[in-house]
Amino acid sequence: MVFSMPCIVVVGGFFGDEGKGKIVAYLALRDEVDACARTGSVNAGHTVVWRGVKYGLRMVPSAFVYENCRLYIAPGANVNVDVFLKEVDETNVKGRIWVDKYSSIIEAKHVELDQATGGRIGTTGQGVGPAIADRVRRVAKLAEDVEELKEYLADVPLELNKLLDRKGKVILEGTQGTFLSLIHGTYPYVTSRDTIASAICSEAGIGPKKIDDVLLVFKAYVTRVGKGPLEGEIDREEALRRGWLEKATVTGRERRAAPFNFNLASKAVMLNTPTQLAITKLDVLYPECAGVRSFGELPLEAKQFIREIEEKLKVPVALIGTGPNVEDVIDRRL
């Protein structure tokens, strides 16, 4: 299997928490990408474990681990200025990260409103929905209006498209998951934006003809935070016994859990038209897989699970996560 590159969209297949951050970080290092653009907002956290440090990223693209990668915040994103500046400092990426001038700003009033009203559907309370509402009403503050962001401003779609025209390698990093989409998800228990592959391209300003690959990321089981339907949900005690009890990166809330759902996965394939799949946390489902870097070294049961996914979804599994570190990946493209 070979990714054609230069432009790949990384999108979540379930309800977020699929491990997109780890996959983006791995691709950035392995394929030596030139740029990565983060879409979405601070209500989605991406976890990257790199050189013994665990990063919970809400603004900085996960590709920061590759030091030659230029990092961008897409014009369709919403920026919490304090979160952005804090993460820039923590990841030491100043000088190679830019924010589109038309990215909209999450203000204190948005956070207050979200926390006062978002409990009905179990939002993260980060102010994203109210900020997007202001954008729709055409009253939003933009990045170009914020003094602290002046040195980071750029025309991100122009920069990305110029790179692609020079055959540069670009990752578009989506957030959350297919079924949290405002349009295609389990409404009203959804986020405030569309989250599928085509929407990621739209937020970044990349036309569909410039996309070479869509990588759809699934976890080996399903989790979701907050309210909303979860078919096959197991109780907390059973999730704990199986090792599936997790906490959300942004809110610290416990994630509800269920076995891998082929019906949801099939619909995610339909909505995103992936060229490749990634399956993460195979080592949680099958602990003997921990740290394995070769498909041939996987136990038979784990191999059968991957093959069942490929047979039912009719898409090849290119990457398999076998541990928390960025390098814990079986790369079947090689």
pLDDT at residue 117, as a whole number: 80
Q: Measured in Å, how far apart are the chain's first and last C-alpha atoms?
A: 7
Residue 189 Cα distances to 115, 182, 332, angstroms:
16, 9, 35
179 and 269 in contact (C-beta within 8 Å)?
A: no
Q: How confident is the model at residue 10 (pLDDT cuts 50, 70, 90)?
A: very high
% of the chain surpassing 90 pLDDT: 86
Give the residue extent of every domain in the chain. Answer: 7-331
Q: How far is CA 161 from CA 34, 131, 174, 208, 275, in A?
A: 12, 27, 18, 12, 21
Rounded to whole angstroms, the Cα distance separating 230 from 215 reads: 23
Burial of 120 (0-12, 13-18, 19+ CB in 10 A): exposed
At residue 108, the pLDDT reads: 92
Q: Which two tokens stand for residue 268?
A: 């995610």
Catalytic residues: 17, 46
pLDDT digits (tens, 9 = 90+) for 79-107: 999 999 999 999 999 999 999 999 999 99
* Segment 253-266, tens digit of pLDDT: 899 999 999 999 99
Identify the pLDDT of residue 333: 93
Contacts of 166 (CB under 8 A, 6+ apart): none
| Contact predicate 229/185, CB 8 Å | no
Q: Residues 326, 286: contact at Cβ < 8 Å? A: no
Instruction: Please name the residue that has the structure tokens 């790949």.
Output: 8
The dihedral sign for the CA sequence 126, 39, 233, 49: negative
* Amino acid making up residue 81: V
Q: What is the pTM of this model?
A: 0.94
Q: pLDDT per residue over 164-223, tens digit each?
A: 999 999 999 999 999 999 999 999 999 999 999 999 999 999 999 999 999 999 999 999
Secondary structure (3-state) at 259:
strand
Residue 26: band (very low, low, confident or very high) from pLDDT cuts 50, 70, 90: very high
Q: Answer whether 285's CB lies under 8 Å from 220's CB.
A: yes
SS3 (DSSP) at 18: coil
Q: Give the model's pLDDT for residue 253.
A: 83
Cα four-point dihedral sign 221, 304, 268, 8: positive
Band of residue 5 on the pLDDT scale cut at 50, 70, 90 = low
Distance CA 1, CA 226 (A): 37
> Which of these CATH numbers, 3.40.440.10, 3.40.50.1980, 3.90.1150.10, 1.10.8.60, describes 7-331?
3.40.440.10
Point out which residues pair with 79 in neighbouring strands. 105
In DSSP notation, 176-197 reads S-GGG-TTTSSTTSS-SS--SH
| CB burial readout 57-78, b (16+ within 10 A) else e | bbbbbbbbbbeebbbbbbbbbb
Report pLDDT for 57.
94
